Amino acid sequence: MCAAPGGFLATAMKLNPEAEVVAFSLPHSDGGYYVLLDRDKKGCVKFLDITMLAADMGVTDIPEKHPDAGRFLPRQLSETQLFDLVICDGHVLRTHTRAPYRETREPARLKTTQLALGLEHIRPGGTMIVLFHKLGYWDTVCYLRRFAKFSSVQLYKPTEGHTQRSSFYMVATDVKCQDPEAILAIEDWKALWRAATFGTEKDFAEALREGEPSAEELLEEFGSELVKHGKKVWETQANALAQASYIKNPNNVNLS
């Protein structure tokens, strides 16, 4: 999901040369990145905007007056198509030209499309690798807490290109996609996508908060796990920022 520029995909294909691969990437003409794969490997990539996969997200009746009425796409993944590895590496691009209604809703639309379709089409026991930002943000913590209910979660912050940024990856292994919590997550993420795509501002706001725990509940249930998972991520970023040329740290304090 959102394969360009293609480093993860190229590595997965190199290690699993006989694998069946399906990848999606925003066309460069729409503001997407170039896919830097060898010519013989590019055939697995479908160039489209995954947030417009209405049929895959369970919507076939598109309102005629919707701003994007003619841009929604037919089903791209069959119901029986399952994968051992799902990589969700998309983030909102400034270069992507889109309708005004999408500006504030695009992060939710993009994330829920990746997670709902990724979880719906993973094989039991499979692995999901998901790009997240800002580990301490409420929405991010809620996503991690949810995955921890039906998979084994680890966090990883690459030491190239990510150290000073808020970005990190969640690696969810042994995904129990038939667990009631996983099925509910798919339903909720699709509902949020529908609200963000077709709903009013009120609909979208209500969908964002639907089913969320209180802060007290989240901390009691997942707080210690969050600290354990996040320690290495925060430490890596803190030490990188301490050494950054644009940060003044006259005492040269090591933040580890």
What are the residue ranges spanned by the domains of the chain? Answer: 49-215
Helix 138-148 vs helix 215-242: angle between axes, to the nearest 10 degrees?
110
CB-CB contact of 110 with 92 (8 Å): yes
pTM: 0.89
Helix (H, G, I), strand (E, B) or coil at 73: coil
Helix (H, G, I), strand (E, B) or coil at 153: strand
pLDDT value, residue 163: 82
The total of other beta-carbon atoms located within 10 Å of residue 186's CB is 18
Long-range contacts formed by 23-32: CB under 8 A, 24+ apart: 24/48, 24/50, 24/76, 26/2, 26/50, 26/93, 26/96, 30/96, 30/97, 31/93, 31/94, 31/95, 31/96, 31/97, 32/4, 32/93, 32/95, 32/96
pLDDT value, residue 248: 65
Greatest Cα pair distance, the chain, in angstroms, is: 62
Give the whole-angstrom CA distance, residue 97 versus residue 93.
9
Render each residue's pLDDT in the chain as its tens digit; 256 residues. 998 888 899 999 999 989 999 999 999 888 888 888 887 778 899 999 999 999 999 999 999 999 999 999 999 999 999 999 999 998 887 788 788 888 889 999 999 999 999 999 999 999 999 999 999 999 999 999 999 999 999 999 988 777 888 899 999 999 999 999 999 999 999 999 999 999 999 999 999 998 889 999 999 999 999 999 899 899 888 888 888 877 765 555 555 5
The single-letter code of the amino acid at 41 is K
> 130: alpha, beta or left, given left = phi > 0 and alpha = psi -120 to 50?
beta
Digit-coded pLDDT (tens) for 20-55: 999 999 998 888 888 888 877 788 999 999 999 999
Pairing of strands 167-175, 122-133: antiparallel
Q: What is the CATH number of domain 49-215?
A: 3.40.50
CB-CB contact of 129 with 85 (8 Å): yes
The single-letter code of the amino acid at 120 is E
CB-CB contact of 91 with 134 (8 Å): no
